């Protein structure tokens, strides 16, 4: 934990993973986080009980926060939240699209009342898109954005990445956007309205597969631990074990061939002289 954001107050009307990741990063940087929870609590409290009876997800991304139970349909509780927001530097929320607006604490309204406030809305899909009002979960986003289609192997078929990458990446993107907004406010005195979606965040991660398909005419392969653009890269079986290799440059390739494998002919083989050629001749190289 650092003190870079000491004195910054963040009100977080959050649940699940994406928004809590963002506020957790802010807490780690020294900000004060007030997490608003409904009576039954953030539903991620019930994901599992592995952390000494507590949810591993909740413990991970809610450290260093203060929690306040509120019923937003109760006028007194809503007034309390409004009082917090009047003093806050940042407001983060990832409720269902439109929920905060119906309560009178939507970003546009808050920015009018508190011009210095930075608001951050996180949704599954971007405002103005056909699916904006739909619920979204990490698995759905991985599939819809194409990430699961390039994960796994040809024999396994599409697979989910083993962590909630859509949520985590969006939370980290929100953290970066909030830091930018704080810097902008320090210069201009004005807050900002930030909007992020899980789908857009993961779609951005898919730029290299898209460019490969769009300009190279190549369908991104499912290679397991191998890399579609780098070789040798992945798990290789030895006589009595397995070894993981990641060779990303010509000097590394020559060191592997000459010094590790002790094969000068392999090091000088023109089929493997560059990474582009090694990828093109991957089947021979990996054999």
Q: Which residues are catalytic?
A: 227
Name residues whose C-beta falls within 8 Å of residue 49's C-beta, 6 or more positions apart in sequence. Answer: 55
Q: Please, are residues 170 and 198 in contact by the beta-carbon 8 Å criterion?
A: yes
Q: How far does CA 15 lie from the centroid of its chain?
A: 15
Preceding peptide of 232 cis, ω within 30° = yes
The first and second tokens of residue 202, run together, are 């993961």
Phi, psi of 120 (to 5 degrees): -135, 110
Tracing tokens 């392969």 back to the chain, one arrives at 221
How many whole angstroms separate alpha carbon 22 and alpha carbon 169?
Answer: 10
Distance CA 26, CA 30 (A): 7
Phi then psi dihedrals of residue 20, to 5 deg: -60, -30
181 token code pair: 């907004």
> Do residues 283 and 223 make contact, with C-beta atoms less than 8 angstroms apart?
no
Q: How far apart are CA 257 and CA 175, in angstroms?
A: 43
């Amino acid at each position: 934990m650092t003190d870079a954001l000491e004195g910054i107050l963040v009100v977080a009307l959050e649940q699940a993973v994406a928004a809590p990741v963002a506020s957790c990063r802010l807490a780690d940087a020294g900000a004060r986080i007030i997490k608003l929870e409904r009576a039954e609590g953030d539903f991620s409290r019930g994901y599992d009980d592995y952390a000494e009876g507590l949810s591993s997800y909740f413990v991970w991304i809610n450290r260093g926060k203060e929690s306040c139970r509120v019923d937003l349909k109760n006028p007194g509780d809503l007034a309390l939240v409004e009082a917090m927001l009047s003093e806050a530097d940042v407001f983060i929320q990832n409720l269902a699209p439109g929920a905060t607006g119906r309560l009178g604490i939507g970003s546009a309204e808050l920015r009018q009342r508190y011009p210095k406030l930075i608001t951050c809305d996180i949704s599954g899909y971007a405002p103005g898109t056909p699916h904006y009002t739909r619920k979204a979960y990490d698995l759905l986003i991985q599939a819809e954005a194409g990430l699961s289609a390039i994960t796994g192997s040809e024999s396994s078929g599409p697979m989910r990445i083993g962590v909630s990458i859509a949520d985590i990446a969006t939370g980290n993107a929100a953290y970066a956007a909030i830091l930018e907004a704080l810097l902008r406010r320090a210069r201009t005195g004005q807050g900002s309205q930030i909007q992020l979606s899980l789908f857009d965040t993961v779609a951005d991660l898919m730029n290299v597969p898209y460019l490969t398909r769009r300009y190279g005419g190549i369908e991104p392969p499912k290679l397991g631990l191998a890399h579609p653009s780098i070789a040798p890269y992945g798990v290789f079986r030895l006589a009595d074990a397995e070894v993981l290799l990641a060779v990303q440059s010509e000097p590394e390739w020559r060191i592997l061939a000459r010094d590790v494998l002790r094969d000068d002919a392999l090091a000088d083989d023109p089929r493997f002289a560059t990474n582009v050629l090694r990828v093109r001749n991957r089947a021979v190289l990996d054999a």
